[in-house]
Amino acid sequence: MAREAHVIGASTAGLYAAYRLARKGFEVHLYDAESNLNPAPRTLILTPYFQRLLDFPSDEVIINRVWRFELISASASATVTLKEPDLVVERRKLFELLLRQASEAGVDIHWGHRLEGLEEEGGSLLLRFRTDQGYKVVLSSSVIGADGAKSTVGRLLGRRALPLVAVVQAKVNFPKPIPADKVQVWFDRNRTRFFVWLIPESPTTGVVGLVADGMEEACRSLEDFLSSHSWEPSSFQSAIVPLYLPGTGMVAGKGLRSAILVGDAAGHMKNTTVGGVVSGLRGASALTISSGGVKVGSAWQALKRELWLHAWLRRLLDTFSDEDYNLLLKLLNARSLRILAAYPRDDFAKAVMPLLLSQPRWFLLGARSFLKAMASQL
């Protein structure tokens, strides 16, 4: 039985995949192109699913807890008061925790190893890394690609390119105190087809951000939004992330010339909110072991269902005008708000039927958007 696994990409998905495989008794080698752990600062908001997923304590990464989401459109607003708070997390702290857990589990981490080649050789995959000391080759029968949105593993194995979007957020020191327990979300089609958010870190600091189809558009739109509120950015955080592409599984390539992808590399992204951390950790948790090495286990089915649902909701939301968002928020009755409060975004499939039953007019709005989405494909 093959007891060795080689994970490419030492970010959240890769570190957690490596940790889990090492805990299952594998000899795990984890490679990253960076020369050491040096993640760019990033304020993340995660659902409580995050802490349920990890099998070790993670309070140390939490910088704030939020209980309320205020949804704002041009002429309506609604507030969801959560049953369990969402967690505001600093990515560096999360990296440090995952790195410590992976190291303690025995993962061998190789910094400064950029994967550049991947070929089949004698029943295994030959990985070619560029390092400061020159090229290094490694043979492996279990390769896991956790190398982000523009995954080299996926590209070298001919996996279909994923749709990419730009996320940018500005760190702001607010001139007047803000409610530290409330996220604000603005729907404004002139700025973005997604939404604008304010995630508080404290009563005086937080991040304001948005997603757009390109980086230039995202930066322009965010700067305009900030100046409309007279908010001065102190720094920016940004990157390209993928959207989930329904129909893409976790395996890239075929037969012996294949690898498993997790995290952004696999498009493990909730397309509604463009949240990828918990989905990536779930992807890593879906890895299991068989006599042939690492395999994708049945947990992938539940994640796939969830990602598929978010991809469809995104397609419907993309057809929305500002008036549709006004209507959507006005239709949120007390029962709908209670349902939204009870089900985290990472467990949204369970909320769909109760939500539809809570407001019969959702069907009409949904059906209209579905027809518009279909028509836009013709």
Q: How many DSSP H helices and E strands does the chain contain?
A: 11, 19
Nearest residue (CB) to ligand FAD, 239 versus 374: 239
- Whether 91 contacts 223, CB under 8 Å: no
Total chain residues near ligand FAD (CB under 6 A):
37
152 scored as a contact of ligand FAD (CB under 6 A): yes
Of these, 77, 131, 238, 326, which contacts ligand FAD (CB under 6 A)?
Answer: 238
Of these, 5, 7, 33, 311, which contacts ligand FAD (CB under 6 A)?
Answer: 33
Cα–Cα distance, 210 to 224 (Å, whole number): 12
Q: Beta-carbon neighbour count of residue 278 at 10 Å?
A: 26
> What SS3 state is found at 271?
coil
Of these, 100, 114, 220, 295, which contacts ligand FAD (CB under 6 A)?
Answer: 114
293 scored as a contact of ligand FAD (CB under 6 A): no
192 scored as a contact of ligand FAD (CB under 6 A): no
Of these, 9, 253, 267, 293, which contacts ligand FAD (CB under 6 A)?
Answer: 9
Nearest residue (CB) to ligand FAD, 273 versus 369: 273
**DSSP result, 294-325:** EEE-THHHHHHHHHHHHHHHHHHHTT--HHHH
48 scored as a contact of ligand FAD (CB under 6 A): no
Nearest distance from residue 232's CB to ligand FAD, in Å?
18
Of these, 167, 172, 311, 313, which contacts ligand FAD (CB under 6 A)?
Answer: 167
DSSP3 helix / strand / coil % (the chain, rounded to 5): 35, 35, 30
Nearest residue (CB) to ligand FAD, 111 versus 174: 111
Of these, 42, 310, 315, 345, which contacts ligand FAD (CB under 6 A)?
Answer: 42
State the binding string over 49-88 for ligand FAD (x if CB under 6 A, else -). Answer: ----------------------------------------
277 scored as a contact of ligand FAD (CB under 6 A): yes
The residue among 347, 33, 92 whose CA lies nearest residue 237 is 92
Nearest distance from residue 47's CB to ligand FAD, in Å?
9
Q: Within positions 205 to 224, which residues make up the interface with ligand FAD, using CB under 6 A? A: 209
Cα–Cα distance, 119 to 37 (Å, whole number): 28
Q: Within positions 345 to 364, which residues make up the interface with ligand FAD, using CB under 6 A? A: none
Stretch touching ligand FAD by CB under 6 A, among 40-48, 53-61, 72-80, 134-142: 40-48
237: CB partners within 8 A, 6+ apart = 40, 41, 42, 43, 168, 169, 170, 171, 207, 209
353: CB partners within 8 A, 6+ apart = none
78-81 long-range contacts (CB < 8 A, ≥24 apart) are 78/329, 78/332, 78/337, 79/182, 79/337, 80/337, 80/340, 80/341, 81/337, 81/341
Residue appearing with tokens 């192109």: 33
> What SS3 state is found at 55?
coil
Q: Within positions 169 to 188, which residues make up the interface with ligand FAD, using CB under 6 A? A: 169
334-342 and 349-358 are packed helices; what angle lies between their axes, rounded to 10 degrees? 170
Of these, 200, 280, 293, 344, which contacts ligand FAD (CB under 6 A)?
Answer: 280
Nearest residue (CB) to ligand FAD, 275 versus 293: 275
- Note the residues at the interface with ligand FAD (CB under 6 A): 8-14, 31-34, 42, 44-46, 114-115, 146-149, 152, 167, 169, 209, 237-239, 241, 263-265, 275-278, 280
